[in-house]
Amino acid sequence: MTRGQGSGAGGRVRVAVLFGGESDEHDVSLRSAETVMGALDPERFEVVPVGITRQGAWFSGEGVFGQLTAHSPLFALPGDAHPGQDEVTGPVTGEALVVVEPGQVGLSGSALSGVDVVFPVLHGPRGEDGTVQGMLELARVPYVGSGVLGSAVAMDKAMAKVVLAGAGIPQGAWLAVSRADWETDPIVVGERVESELGYPCFVKPANMGSSVGVSKVHDAGELGAAMSLACQYDRRIVVEAGLDAREIEVAVLGNESPVASVAGEIVPAGEFYDYAAKYVSDDSALIVPADLTADEAGEISRLAVAAFAALDLAGLARVDFFLERESGRVLVNEVNTLPGFTAISMYPRLWAASGMPLPDLVARLVELARARHAERRR
């Protein structure tokens, strides 16, 4: 198949939007996909919905989005009951993808024929970590976002910190702990945390996003519960020193010549910007643009692009910063390669404030995906 002007009806670009997935960010993915699919101009793009259940089965077709959201608490109506697992039964097949059960390979024959670009609106492991990206590389299909290397490194918070440190990007104090080390000798781990970081600190799974599994630890007595929670999600745990700092976020867009958006500030209603604050309640303040000096804004923008380049990213990323109140130091906290695209998410809001409304943003991401694919095919 030739991927030129577009293989869809009327020459439209046919975009397969992947959503759901096996990670604990499944529900956030559904919210993000709803926004992305609604923003793709139907005169320019033909959307092919592709849903992945929590169990890892792939379905395509118009009905799959409704089937997955029917079992999602983020789409709840008051009084609804919501099972912990979606119960999609019966294939909803379309032309773009065959139905694939967990453990099978879905790239043979014409599984991806007819699709010009894949837009993976997937968050967390088995979606944002290079696994799906590797599958799409094998299928030779253009896709939105970073490649295998950048996706995998940025998803793993511990490895990303190592790479960013090697590139001279300033960060706060942190340490990595394996689940095996914690379960073997929690006393030694606790002594390391207290001596190297102190309290308060934050404990989080290395490979997870949307603040899933993250805890703020005020003293040694709370460390055990926080570590146990993080260990439910990953075998690698990151512990970060607590900082008296403002939380600043910047959106980055581009391939070889990325650009940064205006900066935004998050003022959490609680002690930190947790999952509920991001996707359930609207009590936290999202200030766009952030109230920064010209020097602060310039340094944050420079570091955002530098972090993007150091991790070999492409398409899009959101770079999260700490701006220390006392010292004025700008520190990179995390880099997210597939940031949330919900109606209240910072990534689209930052670009809207920078003069790029959501329909233009998603169209630009599709263009960048095709350009990157063409460059790699050289």
Catalytic residue positions, numbered: 25, 210, 279, 318, 320, 334, 336, 340
Alpha-carbon span 180 to 162, nearest angstrom: 21
The single-letter DSSP state of residue 214 is -
Retrieve residue 95's tokens: 């032309």
Alpha-carbon span 367 to 13, nearest angstrom: 10
Q: Which residue has the tokens 């089937």?
A: 67
- Give the largest Cα separation in the chain, rounded: 65
Q: Which residue has the tokens 């095709």?
A: 370
DSSP 233-292: T-SEEEEEE---EEEEEEEEEESSS-EEEEEEEEE-SSSS--HHHHHT---SEEESS---
**Cα–Cα distances in Å, from 331 out to 229, 236, 256, 263?**
26, 22, 24, 14
CB neighbour list of residue 29: distance below 8 Å, 6 or more residues apart: 19, 20, 21, 23, 121, 122, 123, 127
Q: What 3-state DSSP class applies to 30?
A: helix
End-to-end CA distance of the chain: 18
CB neighbour list of residue 259: distance below 8 Å, 6 or more residues apart: 252, 253, 305
